[in-house]
Amino acid sequence: MGYLVFLEWIDFGSIVYFLGKVLASTGVSMLLIFVTELLFFRKEKFRTNTA
């Protein structure tokens, strides 16, 4: 895992640009997940831990 991160860092050349890209990708992914959760409610019958 660390080796692949190192290779990506060398490919981009700048650690600041690399970390910015990683953080931006994470932020966009989280935003899409939250939007999807808000738009499409899960049905109650699929919950397994109900009493």
Q: List the chain domain ranges.
A: 2-41
* Inter-CA distances, 24 with 27, 40, 46, Å: 5, 24, 33
User: Are 12 and 18 spatial neighbours (Cβ–Cβ below 8 Å)?
Assistant: yes
Higher pLDDT, 49 or 21: 21
Structure confidence by residue, pLDDT tens digits, 21-31: 889 999 999 99
Q: Kind and range of the H or E element at 7? A: helix 2-12
pTM score, whole prediction: 0.55
Q: What does the alpha-carbon distance between residue 24 and residue 14 come to, in Å, rounded to a whole number?
A: 15
Structure confidence at residue 47 as a pLDDT band (50, 70, 90): low
